[in-house]
Amino acid sequence: MANTEAATGAARQRGATNNLEAFWMPFTANRQFKQAPRMLASAAGMYYTTADGRRILDGTAGLWCCNAGHARPRIVEAIAAQAKELDYAPAFQMGHPKIFELAARLVTYMPPGIDHVFFTNSGSESVETGLKIALAYQRAIGQGSRFRLIGRERGYHGVNFGGISVGGIVNNRKMFGTLLTGVDHIRHTHDPERNAFSRGMPRHGAEFADDLERLVALHDASTIAAVVVEPVAGSTGVLLPPQGYLEKLRAICDKHDILLIFDEVITGFGRLGKPFAVDYFGVTPDIVLTAKGVTNGVVPMGAVFVKKDIYEAFMQGPEHMIEFFHGYTYSGNPIATAAGLATLDTYEEEGLLTRAGELAERWADGLHAMKGLPHVIDVRNCGLVGAIELEPIAGQPTKRAFAAFLEAYEKGLLIRTTGDIIALSPPLIVEPQEIDFLFDTLRGILKTLD
Ligand SMILES: Cc1ncc(COP(=O)(O)O)c(C=O)c1O
């Protein structure tokens, strides 16, 4: 090989910094991005700074995860200290003190009776873990015929096979073959004809929960292990549960001894103005799936909460035997654990798990002022979550909202879009004037959008 500079590793590495090709980006329009990259270089508090030095208000808490904002000192310091003290400990047959401390603290946020927690590394893994616990639990209590899992149309439960099987977003499912067998779905709760522009929970649609009775009639309750829903569906475009819907779902599950699983990956850790959606709605499921906010999104971690009865059902057989054949190399990773503890400290010291409730009215006012702007066909709000649904351009779904996203980025605001829905979920440290900036900016964009 000719010994030219181009052939040396040093030159290759210099070139690599300008090479955007190698990285296949997740859930991204790769070709569009690589023509006009949007690079975030640093972050602090409510703001990102782009590689070209512009300040961007974070209207999405990263991906619904940085609930305490960015670069929070306690969390940064805890991670650095932990990396020095104990970088890794085997997750199987070994422990380290802080993960027990985190588990014990986390379960205090749950309703009485939900008092055990299993650690994962993401929302998707929490979903798989929760579904496996549900199936194995039914078998452990002699209900092995209950093999069926029920999800909901338009539900998002991450991207692994169990999650896309119970999930209900067509683009996330259609490419991947037969998925899990024995899965069915209840109908979604979106009903714009009756509920468009509802402030808070929509009035109509509690009866959509009865769709579970339809599936019970079809499959028989004795084949159904669990139902999984997001209390507020986030990634599908912020779909709120109609008033009374979750209570009804709980009652039907109770009637048929079906486990109810809440996927709180987005709603957990203060997003709605209470620590969890279980508090906000006053409905207690059997299993609660979380991730994201547990470490403020800083180090990957997820946590699956279960009722005592479920944990106890596994604690049988010889004591030297593993009770649940499941776990991840990084379950309870020490650095994630340190981030988790420091995140809880930050939430508690700053009252962040209820702060969304204090700002909710101003947030709702800003959102609902979008009614009447061009193309706006619905607005939805709850806690510090918001959605503005746009009429799609005929024949070009998603294009209008994506244009709004690009324009917002140019104007110093990060929003998220899914389909033609703009989804908003700022860090819980957001100040009222930042809420005003967010909606002023969006209003300007929506007024001029094609
Ligand atoms: C409700 C819900 N479940 C699961 C997930 C998957 O989480 P992750 O991307 O960490 O795997 C998400 C992600 O947005 C989510 O919103």
| DSSP-derived secondary structure for 225-237 | EEEEE-SSB-TTT
pLDDT at 15 over 80: no
Length of the chain counted residue by residue: 450
CB atoms within 10 A of CB 385: 25
Q: Count of CB atoms within 10 A of residue 390's CB?
A: 25
Question: Would you say residue 12 has pLDDT above 80?
Answer: no
Q: What is the pTM of this model?
A: 0.96
270, pLDDT greater than 80: yes
Average pLDDT estimate for 344-357: 98
**Quick check: CB of 291 below 6 Å from ligand 1?**
yes
Ligand 1 geometric centre to CA of 51 (Å)? 27
Q: Which residues contact 260 (CB under 8 A, 6 or more apart)?
A: 226, 227, 229, 249, 250, 253, 285, 286, 287
pLDDT classification of 9: cutoffs 50, 70, 90: low
Question: Which segments of 96-142 are extended strands (E)?
Answer: 114-120
Atom of ligand 1 nearest to the CA of 234: 16
Q: Is 296 in the pocket of ligand 1 (CB under 6 A)?
A: no
What percent of the chain has a predicted confidence (pLDDT) above 90? 96
Taking alpha carbons only, the member of 193, 227, 235, 198 closest to residue 210 is 227
Question: Which residue among 292, 328, 418 has the greatest number of ligand 1 atoms within 8 angstroms of its CB, and so is best to mutate?
Answer: 292
Q: Given this model, what pLDDT does residue 323 score?
A: 98
**DSSP conformational letter for 108:** T
Q: Which residues 6+ apart lie within 8 Å of 58 measured at CB? A: 43, 46, 47, 48, 66, 69, 70, 414, 426, 427
Asked if the model's pLDDT at residue 219 lies above 70, the reply is yes
CA of 265 to the centre of ligand 1 (A): 6
Ligand 1 centroid–CA 163 distance in Å is: 9
Token pair of 45, please?
Answer: 């508090």
Mean pLDDT calculated for residue range 167-180 = 97
Whether 164 and 172 have beta carbons less than 8 Å apart is answered as yes
Rounded to the nearest integer, the mean pLDDT of the chain is: 96
Percentage with pLDDT > 70 across the chain: 96
Ligand 1 centre distance from Cα of residue 8 (Å) = 42
